[in-house]
Amino acid sequence: MHIESRRVPTARITQNVLTTGTAGGEPVLFVHGNVSSSVFWRETMLALPGGYRPLAVDLRGFGESDPAPIDATRGLRDFSDDVLALVDALDLSGVHLVGWSMGGGVVLQALRDRPSAVRSVTLVNPVSPYGFGGTHGPDGTLNHPDGAGGGGGTANPEFVRLLAAGDRSADSPLSPRSVLRATYVKPGTVLDPEDEDVFVESMLTTRIGEDNYPGDAVPSDAWPGTAPGRRGVLNTMAPTYLRLDDLHTVDPKPPVLWVRGDSDVIVSDTSMLDLAHLGALGIVPGSPGTPAQPMVTQTRTVLRRYGNFTEVVLDCGHSPHVERPEEFRAALADHLKRS
């Protein structure tokens, strides 16, 4: 088998989709995370057992899909509605959804809005159901009413600059390649050089700007002085717009597999990208003592209310499908078989 790329017109935007050319079988739709694209799923797609139809989509503003503006006031729904529009355009029935990082939130939003279309869900180090930044406690209590600590203003401006410049080097600790090595995988993990180059190129497809990544921001009187804007990627995960704590109300409830790395520094109860945690460590000055967002605990709390889920923990960082491919594929195959 080999990977093919095709652009699919839908009722919303034209989306780029990777396929293996396999027309039959149960559809398995892979959704990537932030600052990445569908190519992170290539090897997983090729290794999928027979009887399944693997597809991987580029979300809007990433890869080769249309760089359409993102209305963050809808939370992740611009992304999840695109995914559901793709499901309709390809006439997929009983789709298995697999979402990584931000893509985990996207597939949960799709499940929340149209559970009848979903046969199973696999979450891979997903963003918390309460978004990224600006909350504390297992039930996602806001640190401040305006969502201070989350949204477009939390991106490191030097990383954004180097991403926009197409920097492929490892000269800066904030270059895309350095960020890949330090946060996408467990620190110390050595990627195959060819794979690493492919992943960096994938990261560089990210559209930069207030309508895409990172989005806009507004000042806040609360620490750290920035609150979510209304546009762009990071604001879709702002705690004032993204709330997926009512998943237990959906019917039917397809099975959920939650795979996470025990050394993830992005989605963690002590995330190194959470300004509250960085403030507690003294890295970001002026912290009033706001606690770190317990992202993993929040996800577990919501999934326990949902009920029909299995948690698998692997010895890796943010990308189990890249770092522990055989173990990840075994867990995924078993989940698909039982769904």
pLDDT single digits (tens) 136-152: 999 999 999 999 999 99
Assign residue 39 the CATH number of its domain: 3.40.50.1820
Neighbours of 224 (CB within 10 A): 22
In a domain, 43, yes or no: yes
Q: Is the residue at 82 inside a domain?
A: yes
pLDDT at 22 over 80: no
Surface-to-core class of residue 2, CB atoms within 10 Å of its CB (0-12 exposed, 13-18 middle, 19+ buried): exposed
Mean pLDDT of the chain: 97
Asked if residue 67 belongs to a domain, the reply is yes
The helix (run of H) or strand (run of E) holding residue 28 is strand 26-31
| Statement: residue 1 has pLDDT above 80 | no
Under the banding of pLDDT at 50, 70 and 90, the label for residue 23 is: confident
pTM of the model: 0.98
Boundaries of domain holding 18: 4-139+236-338
Residue 145 lies in a domain: no
- CA-CA distance, 18 to 34, in Å (whole number)? 18
Identify the bridge partners of residue 231 per DSSP, sorted by sequence position. Answer: 71
> Is the residue at 192 inside a domain?
no
Q: Where are the alpha helices (DSSP H) in the chain?
A: 42-46, 77-89, 102-113, 157-164, 176-179, 193-203, 233-236, 275-280, 295-306, 320-323, 325-338
Dihedral of alpha carbons 66, 197, 321, 162, sign: negative
> How do residues 103-125 score in pLDDT, each as one tens digit?
999 999 999 999 999 999 999 99
Give the model's pLDDT for residue 277: 96
Q: How many domains does the chain have?
A: 1
C-alpha distances (whole Å) from 302 to each of 62, 247, 273, 307 are 29, 7, 22, 9
Whether 44 is covered by a domain: the verdict is yes
Residue 67: strand, helix, or coil: coil
